[in-house]
Amino acid sequence: MSQPTQQEEFLAEQSHPRPPGAPVEEEAKGLSQGQIVRKRFLGHSGAIAGLFIFAIIFLMAFTSVGWAGIPGWWKYDHLDVSPLVNDGVPTASLWPPAWGEHPFGQDRIGRDLFAMTMRGAQQSIIIMLLIGIIAGLIGTVVGGLSGYFRGWVEAILMRITDVIIIIPVLLLAAVVAQSVNRRDQGGWFSGFAASNGILILGIFLGLVSWVGLARLMRGEFLTLREREFVDAARISGASNARIIFKHILPNAIGVLIVNVTLTMSAAILLETALSYLGVGVKSPDTSLGLLISQNQEAFSTRPWLFWFPGLFIVLICLSINFIGDGLRDAFDPRQKKFNAKKARGTKPAGEPDKVPAPAGGATTADGSAGD
Amino acid sequence: MVTYIVRRLITAALILLGASFLVYLLTASSGDPLEEFRASSAPNKQQLMDSRSELLDLDTPAPLRYFKWLGGAARCLVPFAGSCDLGKNIAGQPITEALGFALVQTLTLVTGATILAILIGIALGIITALRQYSALDYGVTFMAFLFFSLPIFWVAVLLKEYGAIGFNDFLRNPEIPLPVALGIGAVAGIIVAVAVGGAARRRVVSGGMVFLAVSLILIYFSVVQWFRNPGLGPVVIAIAGVGLAFAVTLLVSGLKNRKALQSSLIVVGLGVVAYFAVQPLLNQATAVMIVLLGVATIGVGVATGYLMGGYDRGQSMRAAGITAFLVGGLILMDRFMQAWPSYFSNSRVRGRPIATIGAGTPNIQGDFWVLTLDTFTHLILPTTALILVSLASYTRFTRSSMLEIMNMDYIRTARAKGLSERSVVMGHAFRNALIPIATIVAFDIGALIGGAVITETVFSVRGMGFLFLDGIMHTDPNPVMGVFVCVAVTAMVFNLIADLAYSALDPRVRIKA
């Protein structure tokens, strides 16, 4: 009996894209684009939950063990060795709520796991933000220039993109890791790299992860530059810079923000994976991936050393993914509202899901077909 | 069209040249291949360093070495000359040989995982799209996000601990306590109740039935120690076969097509007869024989469908062919289960069948079934891990693709002319939703060869990813280049195939030469 009902539902959804009472006009009335997007984003409970969790982790990671020389409120840092309390078992308990001496436990030599995890979360967040900013900037510039100017600019930039896209990230990370390790061989780069390994890693990963974004932005610019309002601006004498910054970029910003977010969530996993393989963050500094890699052998004796860093990776990545999902729903003009209660009454618009890897199967097909 | 392909290939070759030059320089500059000797105090230190310098030709600057390497690699393009030379690795083994070995390892590891992930992902994506905004949709979406956020090395360690060590401990004394059996049954029942959809009564009834069935089966398994001596037997195969026949017919042609249903059921009957007939044959099985039997099974199914005919002969043939394949799979599974006790008590396995590392038990002796089981038990953990982390992308992508299609005008037209929901979904929506998915699948198959570096590292499989990582760690450019060229060439070829397939499948996309 379910088939006919389902069919009726679909038909109902089809025939009444804007059923009476659906707050479509009200939603958009007197609001700017930014206000509509903000309203939609705030109505997306998953994204708000993600934002909330991420904010808590962010605050905890940066205030607890301190950052860039500023001391934090937690009594240990990731290098301090203290005597084992209760054989290193976590002292935190949910009921009765207690924090204890070492809430996440200690490792074999007595380092505080809470401090190490917080330090690792800091590193992951810094790398994530660096990758997001750098990849977003380069991707927008390269994609925008090649999409707007076409011709030889596009040919050169896109061939460079093609070259970079097939060079394995692992190899680049290994090269960076090696140059960081060569402290003794002098040179300003090695010196800087040795003291700021995490920044170097983030910058390098940012320098290679813009390629997907560049392709997407190129596609976006290609479609937008053919639109009437761009023609109108050009006829009224607007310069290229004005067209790009005032007319095209604001319309492409949604795609950009959404995909930067998704790049950032992939960046977290990339950093942890590289650290796990030994070419990312190196000891004595620590990162979430490195903690797991160091402690996986001890799973049967000290499982908490494995659980807490993993939990934080998953929490950070999951919250960023949910924020990205919320942003996509908010920016997609076809999407009326991603809200379970109201969704029944509105048209189920196809979301251009770019969640993970399939970033632009169709884009590439169209793009290269249009060559 | 030909101009387009030729132009794409020339561009690809130039990109490959540029990228391979960069990769060579990067690898060569990533470290010092003599480092391990510099710190050593061996008396023949200088000699060791000299021999390695000679082996890797370190006296030549890296850019020149690249062109030497290119000269050898260019000979690979000459077909059947056998003069392919990709250099030697740090241990003196030719790269072509190492690549061949690694390729086999990688493909056995990732092929099954990718196919399963694609199948499950697409199925889940379609179901969630048809039930948009239901509890099932939200559940699957959340799981997709969760799995997508999991680091694979973390999953791998968990799987090793609970999937392998825990399950092996359980097999030592395979008794399921009553509360556990009831608990698993209750979980299964709740999942089904959520997934089924429809009216509350229908949900409760289905959930309750699944709860009873699962609990009873688990209790039965525990009593007869099924996990020690598993097996299906002809009765279970017959019952499951009839169920499969109905399910396949429902999806392929709808139950109204009586001829299709009858041919599927006939095939199930033939399968049960064949179960007894092929047992002696299966005892001397080889891989080739299994493949031939599989082809023969599908052939019998299709032939049955053809003979039964009906108003739509193609549908009968398809339904019977798929049913035959599935029943054949059941018979094969039963035979593997028959071999389980002998594998379990094998002197090399010693009652701990699920392996945590490697691609096979060293020096294991046994017939085809035992050896294949050995491969399976080694593959099961990495495959599960790979499926978990790659499932999300297929599910989400299929879902969005399907949702977009379901809003198309031609779907409304199909409904308006009175087609059944099955035929709208399977015939009109699903096929068109597959077009964008086909390109993603082509990309992923192109990337298959690269292997999964982390999975291979965690599970100690010496595949392509391992070769690559090992080359980087030893600053050894030749294996890195070998893997890179293989991966890049397949990726580019499949990229091209994806683009061509897209324009072939979707006539709206035209390739301008």
* B398 shares a domain with B293: yes
pLDDT class of B163 with cuts at 50, 70, 90: confident
Domain region containing B215: 175-224
Helix A113-149 vs helix A249-277: angle between axes, to the nearest 10 degrees? 140
Check pLDDT > 70 for residue B24. yes
Q: Is residue B77 part of a domain?
A: yes
Clarify whether residues B152 and B59 are in a common domain.
Answer: no
Which of A31-40, A64-73, B274-283 has the largest mean confidence?
B274-283
A269: which chain B residues are within 8 Å (Cβ-Cβ)? 149, 151
Helix (H) or strand (E) holding A104: none
Tell me if B457 is assigned to some domain. Answer: yes
**B233 and B203 both lie in a single domain:** no
- Categorize the per-residue pLDDT at A22 as very low, low, confident or very high, splitting at 50, 70 and 90: very low
Supply the mean pLDDT for chain B: 83
Cβ neighbors of A345 (< 8 A, separation 6 or more) are: A16, A19, A21, A22
Same domain, yes or no, for B196 and B278? no
Tell me, what's the pLDDT at B295?
Answer: 93
Question: pLDDT at position A141, please?
Answer: 92
Domain count, chain B: 3
Give the whole-angstrom CA distance, residue A10 versus residue A20: 17
Q: Is residue B512 part of a domain?
A: no
* Amino acid making up residue A80: D
Q: Return the top range by mean pLDDT from A193-197, B94-98, B124-128.
A: B124-128
* CB-CB neighbors (< 8 A) of B133 in chain A: 340, 343-344, 348
Per-residue pLDDT for A47 more than 80?
A: yes
What pLDDT score does B416 carry?
Answer: 92
Q: Is the pLDDT of residue B461 over 60?
A: yes
Residues of chain A positioned with their CB less than 8 A from the CB of B420: 3
Residue-averaged pLDDT of chain A = 73
The pLDDT of residue A6 is: 38
The reported pLDDT for the residue numbered A288 is 84
Task: Select the residue of A306, A352, A369 nearest B511 (Cβ to Cβ).
Answer: A369
Q: pLDDT: is A242 or A179 the higher one? A: A242
User: Would the pLDDT of A18 be above 70?
Assistant: no
Longest Cα–Cα distance of chain B, Å, equals 88
Residue B510, domain member (yes or no) = no
Distance of CA B175 to the CA centre of its chain: 31
Q: Check residue A19 and give its pLDDT.
A: 41
If one compares B392 and B37, the residue with the highest pLDDT of the two is B392
- What pLDDT is stored for residue A333 in this prediction? 57
pLDDT tens-digit profile of B82-119? 667 777 777 777 888 888 888 888 888 888 888 899 99
Partner residue opposite A163 with nearest CB, options B18, B145, B154? B18
Positive or negative, the Cα torsion across A254, A218, B401, B394?
A: negative
Report chain B residues whose CB lies below 8 A from the CB of A170.
453, 468-469, 472
- pLDDT value at position B423? 86
Q: Do B145 and A296 touch (CB under 8 A)?
A: no
B39 and B160, same domain (yes or no): no
Task: Tokens for A176, please give them.
Answer: 């960076």
Interchain CB contact of B413 with A (< 8 Å): no
Q: Is B317 on the interface with A (CB under 8 A)?
A: no
Contacts of B153 in chain A (CB under 8 A): 273, 276, 289, 292-293, 296
Per-residue model confidence (pLDDT) at position B326: 92
pLDDT of residue A94: 62
Confidence of residue B324 (pLDDT cuts 50, 70, 90): very high
Q: Give the gap in angstroms from C-alpha B1 to the nearest C-alpha of chain A.
A: 11
> What pLDDT was estimated at residue B455?
84
The per-residue pLDDT for range B42-65, each reduced to its tens digit, is 777 777 777 777 777 777 777 888
Residue B372 lies in a domain: yes
Domain boundary among B224, B258, B283: B224
Q: What separation in angstroms does the CA of A42 have from each of A37, A329, B416, B459?
A: 9, 11, 38, 43
**B153, B493, B496, B510, best to mutate vs chain A, most A CBs in 10 Å:** B153
- Is the pLDDT at A80 greater than 80? The verdict is no
The lowest-confidence range among A50-54, A341-345, B75-79, B315-319 is A341-345
Residue B70 half-sphere exposure, CB side, CA atoms within 13 Å?
17
Does residue B283 lie in a domain region?
A: yes
Q: Do residues B451 and B431 both lie within one domain?
A: no
Contact B397 A306 (CB under 8 A): no
Task: Kindly list the residues from chain B whose CB atom is less than 8 angstroms away from the CB atom of residue A175.
Answer: 26, 29-30
Report chain A residues whose CB lies below 8 A from the CB of B138: 340
Q: Is the pLDDT reported for residue B488 higher than 80?
A: yes
CB contact under 8 A, B439 and A370: no
Domain match, B244 and B329 both: yes
Mean pLDDT: which of A291-300, B115-124, B167-176 is highest? B115-124
Partner residue facing B509 (CB), from A10, A344, A369: A369
Question: What pLDDT, on the 0 to 100 scale, is given for residue A368?
Answer: 37
**Among B30, B153, B407, beta carbon nearest to A348:** B407
Q: Which residues contact B405 (CB under 8 A, 6 or more apart)?
A: A350, B411, B429, B432, B433
Q: Quick one: pLDDT at residue A285?
A: 75
B74 within domain boundaries: yes
Closest residue to A1, CB basis, from B23, B198, B512: B198
Which of A14, A265, A353 is nearest residue B396 as measured by Cβ atoms? Answer: A353
Q: What is the structure's pLDDT at A189?
A: 57
Mean pLDDT in residue range B319-348? 87
Residues B251 and B196 placed together within one structural domain of the fold: no
Chains A and B form CB pairs within 8 A to the count of 192
pLDDT for res A172 = 79
- Report CB contact under 8 Å: B436, A2: no
**A51-69: pLDDT as tens digits:** 999 999 888 888 777 666 6
Identify the weakest region by mean pLDDT among A37-41, B358-362, B422-426, B472-476.
Answer: B358-362
pLDDT of residue A354 exceeding 60, the answer is no
Answer whether residue A357 shows pLDDT above 50: no
More confident residue, B156 or A72: B156
Chain A residues 229-268 within an 8 A CB cutoff of chain B: 265
Q: How confident is the model at residue A353 (pLDDT cuts 50, 70, 90)?
A: very low
Q: Give CA–CA dist A84/B73, Å, rounded.
A: 58
Q: Which residue from B minimizes the CA distance to A165? A: B19
Least confident segment among A139-148, B3-12, B329-338, B360-369: B360-369
Segment A176-201 mean pLDDT: 63
Q: How far apart are CA A34 and CA A48, in angstroms?
A: 17
- For residue B232, pLDDT over 70 is answered with yes
Mark which of B421, B445, B469 sits at the end of a domain.
B445
Q: How close are the terminal C-alpha atoms of chain B, in Å?
A: 6
* Chain-chain contact of A358 with B421 (C-beta, under 8 angstroms): no
Q: Of B224, B246, B263, which one is at a domain's C-terminal end? A: B224
Same domain, B348 and B417: yes
- Please give, rounded to a whole number of angstroms, the shortest distance from the CA of B446 to a CA of chain A: 12
Residue B396 at interface with chain A, using a CB cutoff of 8 Å: yes
Higher-confidence residue of B369 and A89: namely B369
Domain match, B304 and B441 both: yes
Q: How far apart are the first and last CA of chain A?
A: 51
Same domain for B417 and B458, yes or no, is: no
Interval A93-119 mean pLDDT: 73
Same-domain pairing of B347 and B454: no
Name the token pair of A137: 């900037």
Q: Is residue B513 part of a domain?
A: no
**Residue in A closest to B8 by C-alpha:** A368
Mean pLDDT of A320-348: 61
Residue A55 touches chain B, beta carbons under 8 Å = no
